[in-house]
Every structure is written in C-alpha cells, then in structure tokens.
Amino acid sequence: MSEILLKATNMTMQFGGLRAVDGFNLTLKSGELVGLIGPNGAGKTTCFNCLTSVYKPTEGQVEIRGIDTKSMKPWQISKLGMTRTFQNIRLFKDLSVLDNVAIAGLQHTRHSLFDSVLRSPRHYIEESRLRERAFELLSIFNLQGKADHEAGSLPYGEQRRLEIVRALATEPRLILLDEPAAGMNNKETEDLMNTIAKIRKDFRLTVLLIEHDMKLVMGICERILVLDHGVLIAEGSPAEIKSNPKVITAYLGSEETV
C-alpha cells in the first residue's frame, strides 16, 4: 500500500464572517495526480495556502507524511518535501533565472554563509553542484539557454514554467500546482500537461493541481475534488465528476463554461 503523503482533516479557514474553506478533507497517497477544481472564488487557492501554512487554518488539521504542521512555517513545509507554485506568478523577478532555481535548492546544500564569505573549497563544491543541478532542471523545461536572463524579463509562458522548475529544485515528493496553465493557449497547455506527466514519472512526484479549465483536468487527473463556496461538493473520477449534477449547477450558477 502506498504511503499517505498529505492528509487534511476538517480544515477550515475563516476570514471574519466568511468561511473561505469549510471542513475540507483530503487524503493524498504517494504517486497520485489529483485535481482540485471549482468556480472562481471557491476557495481553491485558500486551500493551498492553508496546506502550505501560509495561512493558519482556523480549525482542523493538516498532516504531511504523518507530521502535524500546525506550528510550522511555510519554509518548514518545504523541508518536509511539499512545495508549490503560485497562481499569480511569484518569481524573484530581478534575479537571474539560474538564481531563482539555485535559491530553491539551497536547503539541500551543506555549506554555511561563513564558507561563502571565506570562499572555502566547500563553498565552491556546493555552489557548483547547485548550479549543475539547476541547469539540469532548466533543460528539462528547455530554459537552460535563458539561465542568465532576469526572471521578470521572460515571456509569460516561460515564467510559468520557471515557477515549476523552481519548485522542483526544492526536491519535493509532493507538488501543489496552482493554475499552471493559466493564460496559456491550447498548444502551450497541452505541452505543459505532457511535461507535468513526464516529471511526475521521472521524479516520482505526487501532484495536486488546481485548474480552472475542466477539460484539461479531466484529461490528466485520476481523481478530482470539486470545491464550491469553500465546501467540497464532489469527489471522484473524471467521469463521475462530469455527470455530477451538483458540479454542473456550481459551474453553471457562476456562469462558467464547462
């Protein structure tokens, strides 16, 4: 039986009078690819923020590999092997593409700031390793040629891909992708989905994916969760979700195209 990587129990996030996420339950097993969908403002990103400790859930529990994350900061979550991308791209815009990736890989280096100040042999060993690793990852996404470019100067689609590369540099077991295909055309989206499938296999990753575009999620996810007004209204295989009347109402009610 595969290991349970992520488990949320009754996770609730209340902002003043608004319950943005209400009693969210989720169990993610190693190797799964699960989609989280729902209309605009359904609380999908808030879910991610709670899972990654950016917000402290007001109720409920989040466990990563059996460890309660209640008192943890987001950087500790990353050390547990879970990472994420952001819906509204949050790259280190003024830094180079290479630096963006290298910074994410820092937690796996063994040199101290002191090594770097003294420029000790260990500094050179670790930093060159970090660079090599960053180049490897960049080349998977065909970004190695842009290593010296400022991240903020990349075209939109490449910025989205760089976000994924950066997340992979933390060497995660579980990656949360927040609308990775937002703003991409059909061709780009298809490419991206292929890449996600590939890295999932190559890195033996577990993926939780927020997507707006239902078609796309249906294509690659094995299991789908549907969120509406902060509440989970359906869970199941793509086929089950497609025919679920609650889901259809939720989407039609908010004038979303299915």
Partner 1 sequence: MEMRDEAARSQALKSIPGPLIGIVILIAIAYLLDATANPYTQFVLTMILANAVLATSLNLVNGFTGQFSLGHAGFMAVGAYTSAWLATRPELAFLPDYLKFLSLPIAAGLLAAIAGYIVGLPSLRLKGDYLAIVTLGFGEIIRVILLNSEAVGGARGLYGIPAAAAIPSLGMSEFISQFSISSIWLVITFVTLWRIVHSAKGRAFLSVREDEIAAEAMGINITQTKVRAFVISAFFAGVGGALFAHTVKYLNPATFTFTKSVDIIIMIVLGGMGSFTGSVIAAAIITVLPEMVLRELQQLTGVDLRMVIYSLMLILFMILKPTGILGTLEATDILRKLRERFKPAAAQESK
Contact 24, 75 (CB under 8 A): no
Q: At what angle do helices 121-140 and 97-105 cross, to 10 degrees?
A: 110
105 vs 230 by CB, closer to partner 1: 105
Shortest Cβ distance from residue 156 to partner 1 (Å)? 17
Phi then psi dihedrals of residue 41, to 5 deg: 75, 15
Instruction: Confirm or reject binding of residue 208 to partner 1 (CB under 8 A).
Output: no
Instruction: Confirm or reject binding of residue 87 to partner 1 (CB under 8 A).
Output: no
Instruction: Confirm or reject binding of residue 215 to partner 1 (CB under 8 A).
Output: no
Could you tell me which of 87, 102, 77, 88 has the C-alpha nearest to residue 8?
Answer: 77
Sheet holding 67-68: strands in order across? 18-29, 4-15, 59-64, 67-68
Phi then psi dihedrals of residue 23, to 5 deg: 60, 50
Local structure of residue 9 (DSSP, 8 states): E
Listed ranges 36-44, 114-122, 235-243, 249-257: which one lies at the site for partner 1 (CB under 8 A): 114-122
Give the helix/strand (H/E) hosting 207: strand 206-210
Shortest Cβ distance from residue 92 to partner 1 (Å)? 4
Listed ranges 68-76, 185-193, 234-242, 246-254: which one lies at the site for partner 1 (CB under 8 A): 68-76
Single out the residue of 22, 115, 211, 228 in contact with partner 1 (rule: CB under 8 A): 115
What's the CA gap between 204 and 83, in Å, rounded?
14
Listed ranges 5-13, 21-29, 84-92, 205-213: which one lies at the site for partner 1 (CB under 8 A): 84-92
Shortest Cβ distance from residue 186 to partner 1 (Å)? 28
By the criterion CB under 8 A, which residues form the site for partner 1? 52, 54, 73-75, 77-79, 83-84, 86, 90-95, 99, 102-107, 109, 111-113, 115-117, 119-125, 127-128, 130-131, 166-167, 169-170
